[in-house]
Amino acid sequence: MKVLSVVGARPQFIKLAPICAAMASAEVGHVIVHTGQHYDDRMSDVIFADLGIPAPDYNLGVGSATHGRQTGGMLAALDGVLEESRPDWVVVYGDTNSTIAGALAATKMHIAVAHVEAGLRSFNRAMPEEINRVMTDHASDLCLAPTAVAMDHLSNEGLGERSLLIGDVMTDVCLGTRDLVAGKPLSFTPDGPFVMATLHRAENTDGDEHLRSLLTSISQLSTRVVLAVHPRLAAAADRIGFDLTTGAIEPVEPLSYPEMVAAVSAASAVITDSGGLQKEAFLLRTPAITLRTETEWPETLSGGWNVLDPTGRHISELLARTLSVPVDEAPYGDGQAAARCVRALQKF
Ligand code: UD1
Protein backbone atom coordinates (compact mmCIF):
# COMPACT_ATOMS: atom_id res chain seq x y z
CA MET A 1 0.00 0.00 0.00
CA LYS A 2 1.20 3.50 -0.83
CA VAL A 3 -0.19 6.53 0.98
CA LEU A 4 0.34 10.17 0.06
CA SER A 5 -0.24 12.86 2.71
CA VAL A 6 -0.97 16.45 1.72
CA VAL A 7 -0.11 19.10 4.33
CA GLY A 8 0.64 22.81 4.16
CA ALA A 9 -0.12 24.72 7.35
CA ARG A 10 1.34 24.48 10.83
CA PRO A 11 -1.41 22.47 12.58
CA GLN A 12 -1.28 19.91 9.79
CA PHE A 13 2.41 19.20 10.36
CA ILE A 14 1.54 18.41 13.98
CA LYS A 15 -1.25 16.03 12.88
CA LEU A 16 1.10 14.43 10.35
CA ALA A 17 3.76 13.59 12.97
CA PRO A 18 2.02 10.61 14.67
CA ILE A 19 0.67 9.38 11.31
CA CYS A 20 4.22 9.30 9.91
CA ALA A 21 5.40 7.29 12.89
CA ALA A 22 2.45 4.87 12.60
CA MET A 23 3.02 4.45 8.84
CA ALA A 24 6.69 3.68 9.47
CA SER A 25 5.83 1.07 12.16
CA ALA A 26 3.34 -0.59 9.81
CA GLU A 27 5.93 -0.43 6.96
CA VAL A 28 3.51 1.45 4.72
CA GLY A 29 5.02 3.46 1.84
CA HIS A 30 4.39 7.13 2.63
CA VAL A 31 4.91 10.13 0.37
CA ILE A 32 4.68 13.61 1.96
CA VAL A 33 3.55 16.61 -0.09
CA HIS A 34 3.96 20.09 1.44
CA THR A 35 1.86 22.62 -0.45
CA GLY A 36 4.00 25.53 0.77
CA GLN A 37 1.01 27.35 2.32
CA HIS A 38 3.18 28.01 5.38
CA TYR A 39 6.79 28.73 4.49
CA ASP A 40 8.40 30.65 7.37
CA ASP A 41 10.94 28.48 9.19
CA ARG A 42 9.15 28.70 12.54
CA MET A 43 5.81 27.90 10.89
CA SER A 44 7.17 24.95 8.94
CA ASP A 45 10.73 23.49 8.90
CA VAL A 46 11.21 23.85 12.67
CA ILE A 47 8.06 21.80 13.29
CA PHE A 48 9.18 19.04 10.91
CA ALA A 49 12.53 18.87 12.71
CA ASP A 50 11.12 19.02 16.26
CA LEU A 51 8.54 16.33 15.65
CA GLY A 52 10.90 14.04 13.70
CA ILE A 53 8.88 14.23 10.47
CA PRO A 54 10.88 13.26 7.37
CA ALA A 55 11.47 16.13 4.90
CA PRO A 56 8.63 16.39 2.37
CA ASP A 57 9.08 14.48 -0.90
CA TYR A 58 7.48 17.39 -2.77
CA ASN A 59 7.10 21.08 -1.93
CA LEU A 60 4.62 22.84 -4.19
CA GLY A 61 5.79 26.29 -3.00
CA VAL A 62 2.40 27.99 -3.39
CA GLY A 63 2.98 30.59 -0.62
CA SER A 64 0.44 33.22 0.41
CA ALA A 65 -2.33 34.51 -1.85
CA THR A 66 -6.09 35.01 -1.87
CA HIS A 67 -8.06 31.83 -1.12
CA GLY A 68 -8.89 31.11 -4.75
CA ARG A 69 -5.38 31.73 -6.05
CA GLN A 70 -3.76 29.80 -3.21
CA THR A 71 -6.13 26.80 -3.45
CA GLY A 72 -6.05 26.87 -7.26
CA GLY A 73 -2.24 26.91 -7.29
CA MET A 74 -2.22 23.80 -5.10
CA LEU A 75 -4.78 22.01 -7.29
CA ALA A 76 -2.82 22.67 -10.47
CA ALA A 77 0.44 21.48 -8.93
CA LEU A 78 -1.07 18.39 -7.26
CA ASP A 79 -2.18 16.84 -10.58
CA GLY A 80 1.43 16.26 -11.65
CA VAL A 81 2.44 14.89 -8.26
CA LEU A 82 -0.48 12.44 -8.16
CA GLU A 83 0.18 11.32 -11.75
CA GLU A 84 3.78 10.63 -10.81
CA SER A 85 3.26 8.87 -7.47
CA ARG A 86 -0.07 7.07 -8.07
CA PRO A 87 -0.86 6.39 -4.41
CA ASP A 88 -3.59 4.02 -3.17
CA TRP A 89 -4.75 6.66 -0.69
CA VAL A 90 -4.43 10.40 -0.36
CA VAL A 91 -4.72 11.52 3.27
CA VAL A 92 -5.68 15.11 4.10
CA TYR A 93 -5.75 16.74 7.53
CA GLY A 94 -7.93 19.29 9.28
CA ASP A 95 -9.55 22.24 7.56
CA THR A 96 -7.13 24.49 5.69
CA ASN A 97 -6.94 25.40 2.03
CA SER A 98 -4.33 22.63 1.67
CA THR A 99 -6.94 20.12 2.95
CA ILE A 100 -9.61 20.94 0.38
CA ALA A 101 -7.03 21.14 -2.43
CA GLY A 102 -5.65 17.68 -1.61
CA ALA A 103 -9.11 16.12 -1.36
CA LEU A 104 -10.36 17.67 -4.58
CA ALA A 105 -7.26 16.90 -6.65
CA ALA A 106 -7.29 13.24 -5.57
CA THR A 107 -10.98 12.56 -5.92
CA LYS A 108 -10.99 14.04 -9.45
CA MET A 109 -8.28 11.51 -10.33
CA HIS A 110 -10.31 8.66 -8.76
CA ILE A 111 -7.80 8.15 -5.98
CA ALA A 112 -9.31 7.20 -2.59
CA VAL A 113 -9.27 10.06 -0.07
CA ALA A 114 -9.19 9.79 3.72
CA HIS A 115 -9.85 12.85 5.88
CA VAL A 116 -8.18 12.93 9.28
CA GLU A 117 -10.16 15.12 11.73
CA ALA A 118 -13.40 14.68 9.82
CA GLY A 119 -16.80 15.78 11.11
CA LEU A 120 -15.78 18.90 13.03
CA ARG A 121 -18.31 21.68 12.60
CA SER A 122 -18.55 25.24 13.88
CA PHE A 123 -21.77 25.81 11.88
CA ASN A 124 -20.33 29.23 11.05
CA ARG A 125 -20.25 29.37 7.26
CA ALA A 126 -18.37 32.67 7.33
CA MET A 127 -15.22 30.80 8.39
CA PRO A 128 -13.09 29.61 5.47
CA GLU A 129 -12.24 26.54 7.56
CA GLU A 130 -15.90 25.52 7.87
CA ILE A 131 -16.33 25.48 4.09
CA ASN A 132 -13.10 23.49 3.76
CA ARG A 133 -14.29 20.93 6.34
CA VAL A 134 -17.73 20.35 4.85
CA MET A 135 -16.44 20.10 1.27
CA THR A 136 -13.57 17.81 2.27
CA ASP A 137 -15.79 15.41 4.21
CA HIS A 138 -18.19 15.14 1.30
CA ALA A 139 -15.35 14.53 -1.19
CA SER A 140 -13.73 11.85 1.00
CA ASP A 141 -14.11 8.08 0.81
CA LEU A 142 -13.19 7.62 4.46
CA CYS A 143 -13.98 10.18 7.16
CA LEU A 144 -11.78 9.55 10.21
CA ALA A 145 -13.45 11.31 13.11
CA PRO A 146 -11.75 12.44 16.33
CA THR A 147 -14.83 12.49 18.59
CA ALA A 148 -18.31 11.03 19.06
CA VAL A 149 -19.76 14.50 18.39
CA ALA A 150 -17.94 14.62 15.04
CA MET A 151 -19.36 11.16 14.20
CA ASP A 152 -22.87 12.54 14.88
CA HIS A 153 -22.27 15.46 12.50
CA LEU A 154 -21.11 13.06 9.77
CA SER A 155 -24.18 10.83 10.25
CA ASN A 156 -26.47 13.86 10.14
CA GLU A 157 -24.99 14.76 6.75
CA GLY A 158 -25.51 11.24 5.39
CA LEU A 159 -21.83 10.29 5.68
CA GLY A 160 -22.17 7.82 8.59
CA GLU A 161 -21.42 4.71 6.51
CA ARG A 162 -18.05 5.96 5.37
CA SER A 163 -17.05 7.33 8.79
CA LEU A 164 -14.97 5.82 11.55
CA LEU A 165 -14.19 7.07 15.05
CA ILE A 166 -10.42 6.83 15.58
CA GLY A 167 -9.81 9.49 18.27
CA ASP A 168 -7.81 12.68 17.92
CA VAL A 169 -4.33 12.48 16.37
CA MET A 170 -3.34 15.79 18.02
CA THR A 171 -3.93 14.12 21.38
CA ASP A 172 -1.38 11.46 20.39
CA VAL A 173 1.26 14.17 19.86
CA CYS A 174 0.23 16.39 22.75
CA LEU A 175 0.40 13.70 25.42
CA GLY A 176 3.68 12.30 24.05
CA THR A 177 5.25 15.78 23.93
CA ARG A 178 3.99 16.64 27.44
CA ASP A 179 5.95 13.69 28.80
CA LEU A 180 9.08 14.64 26.81
CA VAL A 181 9.18 18.28 27.96
CA ALA A 182 8.17 17.68 31.60
CA GLY A 183 10.64 19.40 33.92
CA LYS A 184 12.54 21.19 31.10
CA PRO A 185 12.96 25.00 31.33
CA LEU A 186 10.84 27.31 29.15
CA SER A 187 12.37 29.11 26.17
CA PHE A 188 11.33 32.49 27.63
CA THR A 189 12.10 33.52 31.20
CA PRO A 190 9.03 33.15 33.37
CA ASP A 191 8.81 36.09 35.71
CA GLY A 192 6.01 34.89 37.95
CA PRO A 193 2.62 33.76 36.68
CA PHE A 194 1.81 34.30 33.01
CA VAL A 195 -1.01 33.72 30.57
CA MET A 196 -0.13 32.16 27.20
CA ALA A 197 -1.90 33.73 24.21
CA THR A 198 -2.26 33.38 20.43
CA LEU A 199 -4.52 35.21 18.00
CA HIS A 200 -4.51 34.63 14.25
CA ARG A 201 -7.94 33.79 12.82
CA ALA A 202 -9.25 35.87 9.95
CA GLU A 203 -12.46 36.64 11.93
CA ASN A 204 -10.35 38.30 14.61
CA THR A 205 -7.53 39.87 12.61
CA ASP A 206 -9.32 41.20 9.53
CA GLY A 207 -11.62 43.79 11.20
CA ASP A 208 -9.66 46.81 12.47
CA GLU A 209 -11.92 47.80 15.37
CA HIS A 210 -12.54 44.24 16.55
CA LEU A 211 -8.82 43.45 16.56
CA ARG A 212 -7.98 46.69 18.36
CA SER A 213 -10.59 45.94 21.02
CA LEU A 214 -9.32 42.36 21.57
CA LEU A 215 -5.69 43.51 21.85
CA THR A 216 -6.67 46.36 24.16
CA SER A 217 -8.52 43.97 26.52
CA ILE A 218 -5.51 41.65 26.60
CA SER A 219 -3.07 44.52 27.17
CA GLN A 220 -5.08 45.73 30.20
CA LEU A 221 -4.92 42.44 32.14
CA SER A 222 -3.10 42.45 35.44
CA THR A 223 -1.19 39.22 34.63
CA ARG A 224 1.68 39.17 32.14
CA VAL A 225 0.51 37.80 28.77
CA VAL A 226 3.05 36.02 26.56
CA LEU A 227 1.67 36.39 23.02
CA ALA A 228 3.11 34.09 20.33
CA VAL A 229 2.73 36.23 17.21
CA HIS A 230 1.53 34.49 14.02
CA PRO A 231 2.65 36.30 10.82
CA ARG A 232 -0.99 37.19 10.07
CA LEU A 233 -1.31 38.93 13.46
CA ALA A 234 2.00 40.79 13.02
CA ALA A 235 0.77 42.16 9.67
CA ALA A 236 -2.67 43.04 11.09
CA ALA A 237 -1.24 44.83 14.15
CA ASP A 238 0.99 46.88 11.82
CA ARG A 239 -2.02 47.72 9.68
CA ILE A 240 -4.00 49.14 12.61
CA GLY A 241 -0.94 50.73 14.25
CA PHE A 242 -1.18 48.67 17.48
CA ASP A 243 2.13 48.20 19.29
CA LEU A 244 2.29 44.56 20.41
CA THR A 245 4.37 45.48 23.46
CA THR A 246 1.49 47.51 24.96
CA GLY A 247 0.67 46.98 28.67
CA ALA A 248 0.65 43.34 29.83
CA ILE A 249 1.52 41.95 26.37
CA GLU A 250 4.95 40.39 25.84
CA PRO A 251 5.23 39.34 22.18
CA VAL A 252 7.35 36.32 21.23
CA GLU A 253 7.99 34.61 17.88
CA PRO A 254 5.77 31.60 17.06
CA LEU A 255 6.86 28.86 19.47
CA SER A 256 7.99 25.41 18.42
CA TYR A 257 5.51 22.66 19.27
CA PRO A 258 7.44 21.36 22.31
CA GLU A 259 7.90 24.95 23.54
CA MET A 260 4.17 25.57 23.22
CA VAL A 261 3.25 22.40 25.12
CA ALA A 262 5.69 23.37 27.89
CA ALA A 263 4.36 26.95 27.95
CA VAL A 264 0.70 25.89 28.10
CA SER A 265 1.49 23.43 30.90
CA ALA A 266 3.24 26.17 32.90
CA ALA A 267 0.77 29.00 32.17
CA SER A 268 -2.01 29.97 34.58
CA ALA A 269 -4.39 30.24 31.62
CA VAL A 270 -4.55 30.31 27.82
CA ILE A 271 -6.21 32.98 25.67
CA THR A 272 -6.57 31.90 22.05
CA ASP A 273 -8.66 31.63 18.90
CA SER A 274 -6.85 28.48 17.74
CA GLY A 275 -8.76 25.20 17.57
CA GLY A 276 -5.69 23.16 18.47
CA LEU A 277 -4.54 25.29 21.37
CA GLN A 278 -7.88 25.33 23.22
CA LYS A 279 -7.87 21.53 23.07
CA GLU A 280 -4.23 21.28 24.15
CA ALA A 281 -5.05 23.52 27.12
CA PHE A 282 -7.87 21.12 28.03
CA LEU A 283 -5.59 18.08 27.71
CA LEU A 284 -2.86 19.77 29.78
CA ARG A 285 -5.47 20.96 32.32
CA THR A 286 -4.87 24.68 31.88
CA PRO A 287 -8.02 26.84 31.77
CA ALA A 288 -8.67 28.49 28.40
CA ILE A 289 -10.58 31.51 27.14
CA THR A 290 -11.41 31.20 23.46
CA LEU A 291 -11.95 34.44 21.54
CA ARG A 292 -14.62 33.06 19.22
CA THR A 293 -18.40 32.71 19.01
CA GLU A 294 -18.29 28.91 18.75
CA THR A 295 -15.96 25.94 19.07
CA GLU A 296 -15.49 22.76 17.05
CA TRP A 297 -14.31 21.11 20.27
CA PRO A 298 -17.37 21.47 22.56
CA GLU A 299 -15.97 18.79 24.90
CA THR A 300 -13.46 21.41 26.15
CA LEU A 301 -16.32 23.48 27.59
CA SER A 302 -17.03 20.76 30.15
CA GLY A 303 -16.41 21.85 33.73
CA GLY A 304 -15.67 25.40 32.54
CA TRP A 305 -12.15 24.49 31.30
CA ASN A 306 -12.76 26.44 28.12
CA VAL A 307 -15.09 29.45 27.89
CA LEU A 308 -16.02 31.37 24.74
CA ASP A 309 -15.56 35.14 24.88
CA PRO A 310 -15.86 36.46 21.32
CA THR A 311 -15.53 40.13 22.24
CA GLY A 312 -12.74 39.68 24.78
CA ARG A 313 -14.65 41.91 27.21
CA HIS A 314 -14.88 39.25 29.94
CA ILE A 315 -11.31 37.94 29.96
CA SER A 316 -10.41 39.53 33.27
CA GLU A 317 -13.35 38.03 35.21
CA LEU A 318 -13.01 34.69 33.37
CA LEU A 319 -9.38 34.37 34.48
CA ALA A 320 -10.68 34.20 38.06
CA ARG A 321 -13.38 31.56 37.45
CA THR A 322 -13.63 28.27 39.32
CA LEU A 323 -13.43 24.95 37.52
CA SER A 324 -14.74 21.47 38.12
CA VAL A 325 -13.63 18.06 36.89
CA PRO A 326 -14.79 17.54 33.26
CA VAL A 327 -17.69 15.14 32.81
CA ASP A 328 -15.76 12.97 30.33
CA GLU A 329 -12.10 13.25 31.21
CA ALA A 330 -10.79 11.75 27.94
CA PRO A 331 -13.17 12.72 25.14
CA TYR A 332 -10.30 12.89 22.64
CA GLY A 333 -9.23 9.27 22.81
CA ASP A 334 -6.35 7.33 24.26
CA GLY A 335 -3.42 8.70 22.25
CA GLN A 336 -3.56 5.82 19.70
CA ALA A 337 -5.55 7.53 16.94
CA ALA A 338 -2.75 7.45 14.36
CA ALA A 339 -2.33 3.67 14.63
CA ARG A 340 -6.10 3.32 14.12
CA CYS A 341 -5.90 5.56 11.06
CA VAL A 342 -3.25 3.36 9.43
CA ARG A 343 -5.19 0.18 10.24
CA ALA A 344 -8.30 1.73 8.67
CA LEU A 345 -6.40 2.59 5.47
CA GLN A 346 -5.10 -0.99 5.29
CA LYS A 347 -8.56 -2.46 5.84
CA PHE A 348 -10.75 -0.38 3.52
C1 UD1 B 1 -4.18 28.86 8.07
C2 UD1 B 1 -5.52 28.11 8.09
C3 UD1 B 1 -6.09 28.10 9.51
C4 UD1 B 1 -5.07 27.58 10.50
C5 UD1 B 1 -3.78 28.39 10.36
C6 UD1 B 1 -2.72 27.92 11.30
C7 UD1 B 1 -6.76 28.32 5.97
C8 UD1 B 1 -7.96 28.91 5.32
N9 UD1 B 1 -6.52 28.72 7.25
O10 UD1 B 1 -4.48 30.20 8.43
O11 UD1 B 1 -7.22 27.27 9.55
O12 UD1 B 1 -5.58 27.74 11.82
O13 UD1 B 1 -3.32 28.26 9.01
O14 UD1 B 1 -1.66 28.83 11.35
O15 UD1 B 1 -6.07 27.54 5.35
N16 UD1 B 1 2.17 34.06 6.50
C17 UD1 B 1 3.52 34.27 6.56
N18 UD1 B 1 4.33 33.17 6.66
C19 UD1 B 1 3.86 31.90 6.68
C20 UD1 B 1 2.47 31.70 6.60
C21 UD1 B 1 1.64 32.79 6.52
O22 UD1 B 1 4.01 35.39 6.55
O23 UD1 B 1 4.66 30.96 6.78
C24 UD1 B 1 1.27 35.23 6.45
C25 UD1 B 1 0.96 35.72 5.08
O26 UD1 B 1 0.89 37.11 5.12
C27 UD1 B 1 -0.43 35.17 4.82
C28 UD1 B 1 -1.05 35.17 6.21
O29 UD1 B 1 0.05 34.91 7.08
O30 UD1 B 1 -1.12 35.92 3.89
C31 UD1 B 1 -2.09 34.12 6.39
O32 UD1 B 1 -1.57 32.83 6.04
P33 UD1 B 1 -2.55 31.69 5.47
O34 UD1 B 1 -1.83 30.42 5.32
O35 UD1 B 1 -3.25 32.20 4.28
O36 UD1 B 1 -3.62 31.54 6.61
P37 UD1 B 1 -3.41 31.36 8.17
O38 UD1 B 1 -3.93 32.56 8.87
O39 UD1 B 1 -2.04 30.92 8.55
Atom of ligand 1 nearest to the CA of 95: 11
pLDDT at 190: 67
Is position 138 annotated as part of the catalytic site? no
Residues with C-beta less than 6 Å from any ligand 1 atom: 9-11, 37-40, 43, 64, 95-97, 128-129, 200, 230-232, 235
Collect the ranges in the chain with pLDDT lower than 50. none
Enumerate the H helices of 229-336 as residue ranges.
231-240, 257-266, 275-283, 315-319
Strands 249-252 and 224-228: parallel
Q: Which of 153, 200, 210, 314 is catalytic?
A: 200
Total-model pTM: 0.95
Q: CA-CA-CA-CA torsion for 255, 257, 261, 266, nearest 10 degrees?
A: -20
DSSP 116-142: ETTT-----TTSHHHHHHHHHHHH-SE
- How many angstroms separate the CA atoms of 306 and 221, rounded? 18
What phi and psi, each to the nearest 5 degrees, are found at residue 184?
-85, 150
Atom of ligand 1 nearest to the CA of 276: 12
Distant-in-sequence, close-in-space partners of 47: CB < 8 Å, separation ≥ 6: 10, 13, 14, 53, 256, 257
Residue nearest to atom 3 of ligand 1 (CA): 96
pLDDT at 326: 76
Residue nearest to atom 11 of ligand 1 (CA): 96
CA–CA–CA angle 167, 171, 29 (5° rounding)? 75
Give the model confidence (pLDDT) of 237-265 as tens digits: 999 999 999 999 999 999 999 999 999 99
